[in-house]
Amino acid sequence: MKRQVTVATLMVGSTVMLSSCVADIGTRSASEETTKVDEAGGISSTDGAGGTNGDAGDDVHDNQGETAHTNGGENAGGAGQPGEAGATGSEDTSGVLPPLGEFDPADPSFELFDPCTEIPSNKIEGIGLKPRPLDYRRDSGSTFCNFESSGSNFSAGVLVSMASDSDSIDALNLNEELQQKSHGVEGKQIQIYRSEIFGGTQCDGYVLTERGTVIVSVNDIGSQSTTEERCNLTDSLINQLS
């Protein structure tokens, strides 16, 4: 059965304004971002990736454990501080995702990767995003946050979501008809999908790691970019983080 979670997100004093959000991640949907985009819209990526146009993909389990809401850097349930976990310092060109491979969430030693708190802020800035998350959600089986484009690598109207899930890619039951790309990076699989609910504005990328499935979603509601461009940028961001 397909489950859907709606997460209300608010942001004050930003060029990006978020309202109630909903996004599809496999059998789950959670969080649609409504983004205030400049009239130019679209994306021109310095990395050669095309534009993205969509609602940021979000992956939040329904009714799994306590949800930690961060507001002004405050965090419940022991979750990391968004925007603080990553050390600053010199530019880091190495990968920041966990080793790619299988995982077992039932293993007592399993610890779900949190891209919102564990990716260094200088790495977030290096891929063209502002380092402070716009929103943060965490429960026992998933994490989620949004990052706003800095305008350095692609359009300032783009919103990028990062999430993780304790379900494998296969267990997410993604719609194969919406798959845009599937390829290996150093022996690991990256799968890129057009959003099932917001296909005209969103592209979602999935990577299987030893610490859970990592999801990167690109969102550009300016409608100036194509599905191919949005998915190319999603693919590019994942490769830069890997």
pLDDT of 83 strictly over 50: no
Q: Which of 139, 142, 131, 150 is nearest to 215 (CA)?
A: 142
Q: Rounded distance, CA 3 to CA 241, Å?
A: 29
Give the separation between CA 26 and CA 217, rounded to whole angstroms: 13
CA distance 177 to 17: 32
- For 200-210, how does the pLDDT look when each residue is reduced to its tens digit (9 = 90+)? 889 999 999 99
| pLDDT tens-digit series, residues 95-126 | 899 988 899 999 999 999 999 999 999 999 99
DSSP code per residue over the chain: --EEE-EE---SSSSS---EE--EETTEEE--------TT-S---TTS-----SPPP----SS-SPPEEPBTTB-STT---TTTSS--SS---S--SPPBS---TTSTT-----HHHHS-HHHHHHTTB-SS-SEEEEETTEEEEEEEB-SSSS-TT-EEEEEEESS-TGGGT--GGGEEEEEEETTEEEEEEE-SSSTTTEEEEEEEETTEEEEEEEE-TT--S-HHHHHHHHHHHHHHH-
Q: What is the pLDDT of residue 184?
A: 67
- Position 79 scores a pLDDT of 41
Average pLDDT value over all residues in the chain: 70
- Tokens for 193? 């999908």
Predicted pLDDT at 182: 85
- Are 220 and 155 within 8 A, CB to CB? yes
Query: In this predicted model, which residue has the larger pLDDT, 84 or 117?
Result: 117
Convert the pLDDT of each residue in 9-65 to its tens digit. Answer: 323 233 333 333 333 333 333 333 333 333 334 454 433 333 333 344 444 344 333
φ and ψ of 177, to 5 deg: -65, -20
pLDDT at residue 221 in the model: 66
CA angle 49, 98, 152 (to 5 degrees): 30
Each domain of the chain, given as residue ranges in start order, spans 3-71+96-241
Higher pLDDT, 128 or 226: 128
Q: pTM of this prediction? A: 0.65
